């Protein structure tokens, strides 16, 4: 299988360069139902990106660009996506994506983009937020409810640290808005080996 770039900048799509950390795709699969988005700021993002399974497409967000716009571009390039997995640093009610923060306030700025992510299949969509403490309190719950209202997707997130068990983390999403089946398309070996937490600071 060949790893290729999913170039999220349309102005650069004619000058695509192979880079295994930016994306993985498989030419034998014309449509992919799952998108794994890994923020480029997280430590050891290459370990996770290189361990995404064949049933998903993976995009690593460029750290100096708007992460929400990069996700929107990935949806535009792969219109069969039903399941979105975001792996990033997080805090209560907030995801850190590229050079932007996505929270209940900034969601309004991206309303038109985010509403298009799963359309017209939003009623079978799921979003899995692998970031520390996103659903930890009422602020987090309100953020998830607002994201659900925009996307129509069932959403799973965590009230606790995500990542290495030696630091008190896990890869379990213990909060769900509507039922979500957890099946992160990254190999178990990579999740066990991951040595850090996905927090914006100390979880």
Return the domain boundaries, the chain: 10-193
Asked if 95 and 86 touch (Cβ cutoff 8 Å), the reply is yes
Assigned CATH class of 10-193: alpha beta
DSSP state of 122: G
The closest alpha carbon to 155, from 137, 136, 173, 131, belongs to 173
Residue 132: both structure tokens together: 């520390």
pLDDT per residue, tens digit, the chain (203 aa), is 222 234 333 333 322 222 333 444 443 444 569 999 999 999 999 999 999 999 899 999 999 999 999 999 999 999 889 999 999 999 999 999 999 999 999 999 999 999 999 988 778 899 999 999 999 999 999 999 999 999 999 999 999 999 999 999 999 999 999 999 888 999 999 999 999 999 875 44
Going by their DSSP bridges, the two strands 126-130 and 154-157 should be labelled as parallel
**pTM for the predicted model, two decimal places:** 0.85
SS3 label, residue 39: strand
Give the distance, in angstroms, between the CA of residue 64 and the centroid of all CA atoms in the same chain: 17
């Amino acid at each position: 299988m060949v790893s290729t770039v999913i170039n999220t900048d349309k102005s650069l799509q004619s000058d695509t360069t192979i880079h295994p950390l930016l994306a993985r795709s498989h030419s034998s699969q014309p449509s992919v139902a799952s998108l794994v988005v890994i923020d480029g700021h997280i430590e050891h993002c290459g370990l996770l990106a290189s361990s995404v399974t064949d049933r998903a497409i993976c995009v690593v967000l460029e750290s100096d660009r708007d992460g929400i716009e990069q996700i929107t571009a990935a949806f535009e390039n792969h219109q069969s996506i039903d399941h979105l997995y975001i792996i990033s640093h997080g805090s209560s009610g907030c995801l850190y994506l590229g050079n932007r923060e996505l929270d209940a306030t900034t969601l309004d700025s991206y309303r038109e983009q985010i509403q298009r992510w799963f359309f017209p299949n939003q009623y079978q969509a799921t979003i899995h937020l692998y970031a520390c403490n996103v659903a930890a309190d009422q602020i987090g719950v309100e953020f998830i409810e607002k994201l659900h209202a925009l996307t129509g997707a069932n959403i799973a997130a965590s009230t606790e640290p995500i990542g290495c068990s030696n630091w008190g983390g896990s890869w379990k999403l213990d909060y769900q808005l509507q039922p979500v089946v957890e099946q992160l398309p990254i190999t178990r070996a990579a999740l066990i080996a991951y040595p850090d937490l996905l927090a914006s600071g100390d979880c």
